[in-house]
């Protein structure tokens, strides 16, 4: 028998193999060692499946370098969560009207009644109506929506104080600000509301995810990890060049939490608090785009082997689900309706170009997507949509099909828009030529539209 070339495996063959391995996994006669071997094989097959999306003839070298730049360049610590509360599905959700019951402005209340709607909710309008407090407004609405304040006996005053200080700790960057945190939190809320997997989450898991989305960029300096390394910043030294911004966000969040007036988790049993802390830290660190490919691969492999019923997943693998859902929420803005997505594009490019100007002033190489003289925004958007956002939401369909369907519809519309802009300008539509020479270097911090 000829040796198998992994690159020659078709997607149908891979799918058949995965299905057979899943049946083997369910056999009670399979030993622990055999289960481990099955897991290794499934991860390899999933990697083959993912590679087929990035190795077609139409993908030029700069685009391939762009995608490979998202490989995880550091070994992550394995933070295994312990302890779970009652399942969210054991008690009913609050009604939609309860979401806005503590909001006195009728216009803001009407907008917040659309909190669960991926397409019609407008976070920019909420920011204006809430007088610059979109994050607190969205977070408190979600906590009430799922009765987490009552079910986990979170003290209202301390909870509100914590999230207010978190919001105040966000800097006034064009993109990485409290508005982005609120948008990510609302995107996660849509997954909670529209897809059945929420009933398989515990109260502590939902709380951890909401906290993580709200704090995941707190204190962001408006520059990438690579910039902090190249400028030999104090914070890069502190975190040994390892997920610098993400480590800082997590640390700052828990420094704010431990203030007596903010510590809404002080009453939790030690084991439950440790679970929330480990889960939040792991989720926030997973928002480092250097780990994007690894996170998508792990989620896809696990869901193909274990199925979408999270009750069959181990605590460690459930943690991957939480991180992946938040990651999808973090890159959701180009998967929203076009009139919203374009505003986020303008904001992120403004922030990137500002970094490029700083690099040029310091005599440093200008980072990918940060050179206002070279970057072709439509092309970079199309590549980001095709090779980062779309594959993530295709994978999310296994777990949250309704949310993924809406997102994928908007992604196709956005691609059509950016393609028309490119054609109107007379540019070529070949993938990601806009990233130019800098992406061919394979730098890990090539960021675009919500990636950080």
Output the pLDDT for position 41.
64
272-287, pLDDT tens digit by residue?
Answer: 999 999 999 999 999 9
Task: Please give the residue that has the higher pLDDT: either 343 or 37.
Answer: 343
pLDDT of 167 above 50: yes
Q: Is the pTM of this model over 0.85?
A: no
Q: What are phi and psi of 84, to 5 degrees?
A: -135, 145
Task: Please give the residue that has the higher pLDDT: either 311 or 135.
Answer: 135
The mean pLDDT of 332-350, rounded to a whole number, is: 98
176 is in an annotated binding site: yes
Task: Please give the residue that has the higher pLDDT: either 419 or 102.
Answer: 419
Task: Please give the residue that has the higher pLDDT: either 159 or 62.
Answer: 159
Q: Which one of 176, 249, 292, 327 is the catalytic residue?
A: 176
pLDDT of 242 above 80: yes
Output the pLDDT for position 401.
96
β-partners of residue 143 are: none
Task: Please give the residue that has the higher pLDDT: either 437 or 194.
Answer: 194
371 is in an annotated binding site: no
292 is catalytic: no
In this structure, the chain runs to a length of 452
Structure tokens at 16: 């058949």
Count of C-beta atoms within a 10 Å radius of residue 28: 4
Measured distance CA(151)–CA(130) in Å, rounded: 27
Output the pLDDT for position 443.
36
Output the pLDDT for position 368.
86
Output the pLDDT for position 445.
34
- Around 141, how many Cα atoms within 13 Å sit in the side-chain half-sphere? 32
180 is in an annotated binding site: yes
Average pLDDT for the chain: 83
177 is in an annotated binding site: yes
Exposure string over 43-62, b if 16+ CB within 10 A, otherwise e: bebbbbbbeeebeeeebeeb
Count of C-beta atoms within a 10 Å radius of residue 266: 12
The single-letter DSSP state of residue 385 is: I
Task: Please give the residue that has the higher pLDDT: either 196 or 268.
Answer: 268
267 is in an annotated binding site: no
Task: Please give the residue that has the higher pLDDT: either 189 or 448.
Answer: 189
Question: Confidence band (pLDDT; 50, 70, 90) for 23?
Answer: low
pLDDT of 316 above 80: yes
Output the pLDDT for position 10.
63
Query: Phi-psi bin for 241: left (phi > 0), alpha (psi -120 to 50), beta?
Result: left
Q: Are 181 and 214 in contact (CB under 8 A)?
A: yes
Question: Confidence band (pLDDT; 50, 70, 90) for 448?
Answer: very low
179 is in an annotated binding site: yes
Give the residue carrying structure tokens 């909001």. Answer: 103
Q: Going by C-beta distance under 8 Å and a sequence separation of 6 or more, which residues neighbour residue 251?
A: none
208 is in an annotated binding site: no
Structure tokens at 291: 């780990």
Output the pLDDT for position 36.
52
The mean pLDDT of 76-82, rounded to a whole number, is: 30
Residue 235's Cβ-count burial label (10 Å; 0-12, 13-18, 19+) is: middle
Question: Confidence band (pLDDT; 50, 70, 90) for 38?
Answer: low
pLDDT of 174 above 90: yes
pLDDT of 159 above 60: yes
Of the listed ranges 89-93, 117-121, 205-209, the one predicted with least confidence: 89-93
The mean pLDDT of 372-376, rounded to a whole number, is: 94
Q: Are 241 and 313 in contact (CB under 8 A)?
A: no
The mean pLDDT of 88-93, rounded to a whole number, is: 42
Share of residues in the chain with pLDDT > 90 (%): 67
Task: Please give the residue that has the higher pLDDT: either 18 or 321.
Answer: 321
Of the listed ranges 52-61, 164-173, 186-195, 314-323, the one predicted with least confidence: 52-61
């Amino acid at each position: 028998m000829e040796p198998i070339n992994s690159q020659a495996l078709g997607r149908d063959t891979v799918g058949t193999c995965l299905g057979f391995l899943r049946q083997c996994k369910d056999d009670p006669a399979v030993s622990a060692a055999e289960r481990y071997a099955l897991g290794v094989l499934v991860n390899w097959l999933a990697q083959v499946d993912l590679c087929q999306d990035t190795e077609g003839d139409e993908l030029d070298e700069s685009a391939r370098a762009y995608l490979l730049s998202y490989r995880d360049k550091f070994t992550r610590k394995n933070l295994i969560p312990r302890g779970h509360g009652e399942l969210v599905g054991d008690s009913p959700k609050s009604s939609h009207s309860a979401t806005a019951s503590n909001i006195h402005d009728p216009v803001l209340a009407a907008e917040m009644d659309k909190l669960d709607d991926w397409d019609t909710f407008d976070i920019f309008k909420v920011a204006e109506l809430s007088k610059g407090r979109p994050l607190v407004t969205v977070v408190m609405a979600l906590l009430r929506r799922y009765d987490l304040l009552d079910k986990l006996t979170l003290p209202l005053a301390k909870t509100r104080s914590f999230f207010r200080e978190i919001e105040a700790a966000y800097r006034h960057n064009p993109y990485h600000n409290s508005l982005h945190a609120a948008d990510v939190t609302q995107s996660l809320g849509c997954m909670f509301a529209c897809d059945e997997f929420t009933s398989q989450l515990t109260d502590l898991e939902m709380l951890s995810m909401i906290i993580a989305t709200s704090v995941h960029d707190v204190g962001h300096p408006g520059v990438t990890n690579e910039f902090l390394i190249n400028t030999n910043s104090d914070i890069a030294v502190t975190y040994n060049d390892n997920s610098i911004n993400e480590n800082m966000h997590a640390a700052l969040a828990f420094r704010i939490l431990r203030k007596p007036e903010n510590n809404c988790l002080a009453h939790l049993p030690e084991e439950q608090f440790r679970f929330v802390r480990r889960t939040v830290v792991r989720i926030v660190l997973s928002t480092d785009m250097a780990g994007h490919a690894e996170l998508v691969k792990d989620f896809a492999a696990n869901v193909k082997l274990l199925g979408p019923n999270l009750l069959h997943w181990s605590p460690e693998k459930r943690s991957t689900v939480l991180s992946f859902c938040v990651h999808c929420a973090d890159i959701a803005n180009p998967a929203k309706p076009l009139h919203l997505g374009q505003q986020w594009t303008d904001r992120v490019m403004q922030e990137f170009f500002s970094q490029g100007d700083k690099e040029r002033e310091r005599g440093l190489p200008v980072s990918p997507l940060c050179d206002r003289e070279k970057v072709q925004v439509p092309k970079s958007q199309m590549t980001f949509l095709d090779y980062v956002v779309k594959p993530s939401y295709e994978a999310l369909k296994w777990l949250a099909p309704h949310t993924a369907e809406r997102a994928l519809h908007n992604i196709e519309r956005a691609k059509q828009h950016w393609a028309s802009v490119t054609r109107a300008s007379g540019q070529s539509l070949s993938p990601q030529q806009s990233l130019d020479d800098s992406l061919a270097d394979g730098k890990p911090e090539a960021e675009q539209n919500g990636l950080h």
